[in-house]
Amino acid sequence: MNRMINAYCIGGSIVNGWGTDLDIHWDNILRNTTSLKHYTLPDGTATYASFLDNEQWEELLTKYGHHYTKAALLCIEAINKATEQLTIDWTTTTIVLATTKGDIDLYATLKTINHNTLSFLPHLAAQLNVYYKPQKPVQIISNACISGSQAIQFGASQIRNGFAQTVIACGVDLLTLFTLQGFQCLKALSDKPAKPFDKDRNGVSLGEAASAIVLSNNPLPFRDKAVVACTHGITTNDANHISGPSRTGEGLYKAMMSVNSGMNQLPDAVSLHGTGTLFNDDMESIAMQRAGLEAIDCFGVKGAYGHTLGAAGVLESILSIYSLCFNIIPPTRGYSLSGTPALLNVAKAPVLKPLNTVLKCSSGFGGGNCALLFKKIND
């Protein structure tokens, strides 16, 4: 007899230019505001991006000390905020870190990246090992834009299978010219705040953030609100081009179908990846249609946060959980008129309705797709 243990979501945080108060984040999202600000690239091209300001960085340095790198500071702040009302036994806790580039800001100050071990991803993990002393070394997943979601899939499954009592999945990415000019050379940057699924969308906005979620075998409510579990997680790949999404949404469709069949019903809402690029949002709409989900209420938050890369999956999962807690589908900042081949039910204003399940989707470079299911547990 194999009694299923659930992976309960018992804490969470988001750290970005809006600060660290999750209730303020949620309020900003419901008011349909954005943290994206006008930003001029070195060649004079205008775009929008979301950064932490100098005051926030000074505060973090004062709080934790100058010996930590910026990415480590963001992770520590996110993890501390996510666990502040909880009693965490670090000797039975695993940390899974999700990041695409880690301490990328150190690249710019170096002549030879290779000899500067401070910029290595394992150095970021090492700093967290020193700070938290968890039961085993911090694990890093670097799987492009699905890193965060996959860290939750991996962490939740460790709990469901009895390998861990508590897993903290923390996503982080800083924003520097490395990424901004990279996306610019792919002609993927929007000249306005990203407009996911909108007919006038023309690219991504980028943002820096960290976000952490606490997964546990102990059924505590998420921030004293509702008991929510991550019940399913599936990763697929449909790469046909290393930096372009599938035209048919095959991988995302399969991931969605796998999660839906696991719970024998459709989700009440879908939190989409919604980058604001033509191809991604088209692909997602096709996958939604093929999975029979086009009428389901859906939303995307990258018009508010920008694409936070490795942090996105965690950050958007936290907002999905809040959506369940408050029974509100938040608006999609930047969306006004549909511009996708399949018409989706994208929320423009907060929609109040009873919610028991939210499907969270992520897709990324390298062809990865990850679908997670968050479910309210009403006992």
Interaction site with other proteins (CB under 8 A): 2, 100-102, 104, 107-108, 110, 112-115, 119-122, 125-126, 137, 139-144, 150, 153-154, 157-158, 161-163, 177-178, 181-182, 184-186, 233-243, 250-251, 254, 364-368
User: CB-wise, 60 or 287, nearer to other proteins?
Assistant: 287
3-class SS of residue 122:
helix
Q: How many residues does the chain have?
A: 379
Query: Which lies closer to other proteins via its Cβ, residue 334 or residue 368?
Result: 368
Our CB check for other proteins shows the closer of 14 and 146 to be 146
SS3 (DSSP) at 273: coil
State residue 178 phi and psi, 5-degree precision: -50, -50
Q: What's the angle, vertex CA 96, arms to CA 60 and CA 182, rounded to 5?
A: 70
Q: How many CA atoms lie within 13 A of 92 on its CB side?
A: 13
Query: Least CB distance from residue 231 to other proteins, whole Å?
Result: 12
Please report how the helices 312-326 and 147-160 are oriented relative to each other, as an axis angle in degrees rounded to 10.
60
The smaller minimum CB distance to other proteins, of residues 57 and 120, is found at 120
Q: How far apart are CA 343 and CA 341, in angstroms?
A: 6
Q: What residues have CB less than 8 Å from 233, skipping those under 6 apart? A: 149, 150, 152, 153, 154, 156, 157, 259, 370, 371, 372, 373
Closer to other proteins by CB, 202 or 338: give it.
Answer: 202
Q: How far is the CB of 160 from other proteins (least distance, A)?
A: 8
List C-alpha distances in Å: 292 to 253, 287, 329.
10, 9, 19
Q: Which C-beta is closer to other proteins: that of 234 or that of 358?
A: 234
CB of 233 to other proteins, least distance (A): 7
- In the complex, minimum distance from the CB of residue 363 to other proteins, in angstroms, rounded to a whole number: 12
Q: How far is the CB of 219 from other proteins (least distance, A)?
A: 20
